[in-house]
C-alpha cells in the first residue's frame, strides 16, 4: 500500500486531510474550499488545496477501494457524453449501488465497451451473474468477445439505476466548468468515485440510528485511508 507522508508541509495532516475531504466529498471548487477554511481562520490558497488533492487524492482513493467489501454480482453498464476541450468524449461507468469503475474514451464502439469490461473483470476478479445495459450494440459485441455466460439484459428503461448515477458527475462537471482534459477527468472522477462509494449512505432508506452507525463506519474508513504510514 502506498504510504502517505505529510512531512515538510506547513500545515498539520488534519488540515490537509480535511481540505481534501471537503473538495472530493461535496460539490465544491478549490476556491470554495479556500473560503470555508478561511472562515475557520486558516489562510490557505486554493492552489495549495489543488496541490494537496493531486498529491494525496489518488493514494487515498486506492486505500478506500481496498477497504470496500466485495461488490454485487449484478452489474449495470452505461455511458454518458462529456465535452472535454471542445471535443465529445464518452465516460463509461459501471454502477450497482456503487461505482465500480469508470473510463474516459473517445469512442462509443465495441472496442471501447470491451476495454471497460476487461478492466472490470480484471480488477474485480470475478464475472457478474447479471449484466444490464441499454440497447447500445457495442455492449453485446463486447459480451460475445469475452464469452460471458451470465444473462445479458438490454432495454430502454432497464438501466435507469446507472442513468441516475450520472447526476453526481454532471453536478461536478458544471462546478468545474467542464473537464479540461481526458487525463484530468479520469483522475478526478476516480478519486470522486472512491469518496462517493464510502459516504453514499442511502439515508432515505435507513433509520436515523442506523444512519449514525453507517456514518461512523464511513468516517473510520476515511481516517484509516488518510493515516500516515
For β-strands 152-154 and 130-133, DSSP reports them as: parallel
Grid cell for residue 170: 454532471
Q: Is the pLDDT of residue 164 over 90?
A: no
Grid cell for residue 26: 461535496
- Fold (topology level) of 74-180: Nucleotidyltransferase; domain 5 (3.30.420)
Q: What are phi and psi of 153, to 5 degrees?
A: -100, 130
Report if pTM > 0.85: no
Q: Is the pLDDT of residue 219 over 90?
A: yes
71: number of Cβ within 10 Å: 18
* The pLDDT value given to residue 77: 82
Domain residues of the chain, as ranges? 13-67+201-226, 74-180
What mean pLDDT do residues 154-163 have?
69
Q: Is the pLDDT of residue 226 over 60?
A: yes
Amino acid at each position: 500500500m502506498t504510504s502517505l507522508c505529510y512531512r515538510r508541509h506547513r500545515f498539520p495532516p488534519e488540515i490537509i486531510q480535511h481540505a481534501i475531504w471537503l473538495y472530493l466529498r461535496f460539490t465544491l471548487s478549490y476556491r470554495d474550499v479556500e473560503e470555508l477554511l478561511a472562515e475557520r481562520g486558516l489562510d490557505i490558497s486554493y492552489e495549495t488545496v489543488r496541490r494537496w488533492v493531486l498529491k494525496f487524492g489518488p493514494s487515498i482513493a486506492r486505500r478506500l477501494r481496498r477497504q470496500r467489501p466485495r461488490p454485487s454480482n449484478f452489474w449495470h453498464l452505461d455511458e454518458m457524453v462529456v465535452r472535454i476541450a471542445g471535443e465529445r468524449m464518452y465516460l463509461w461507468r459501471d454502477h450497482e449501488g456503487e461505482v465500480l469503475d469508470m473510463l474516459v474514451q473517445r469512442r462509443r464502439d465495441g472496442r471501447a465497451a470491451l476495454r471497460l469490461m476487461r478492466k472490470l473483470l480484471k480488477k474485480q476478479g470475478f464475472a457478474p451473474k447479471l449484466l444490464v445495459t441499454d440497447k447500445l450494440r457495442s455492449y453485446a459485441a463486447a459480451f460475445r468477445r469475452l464469452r460471458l455466460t451470465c444473462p445479458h439484459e438490454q432495454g430502454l428503461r432497464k438501466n435507469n439505476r446507472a442513468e441516475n448515477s450520472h447526476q453526481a458527475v454532471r453536478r461536478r462537471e458544471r462546478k468545474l466548468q467542464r473537464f479540461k482534459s481526458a487525463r484530468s477527468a479520469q483522475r478526478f472522477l476516480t478519486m470522486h468515485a472512491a469518496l462517493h462509494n464510502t459516504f453514499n449512505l442511502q439515508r432515505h432508506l435507513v433509520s436515523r440510528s442506523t444512519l449514525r452507525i453507517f456514518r461512523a463506519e464511513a468516517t473510520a474508513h476515511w481516517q484509516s485511508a488518510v493515516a500516515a504510514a
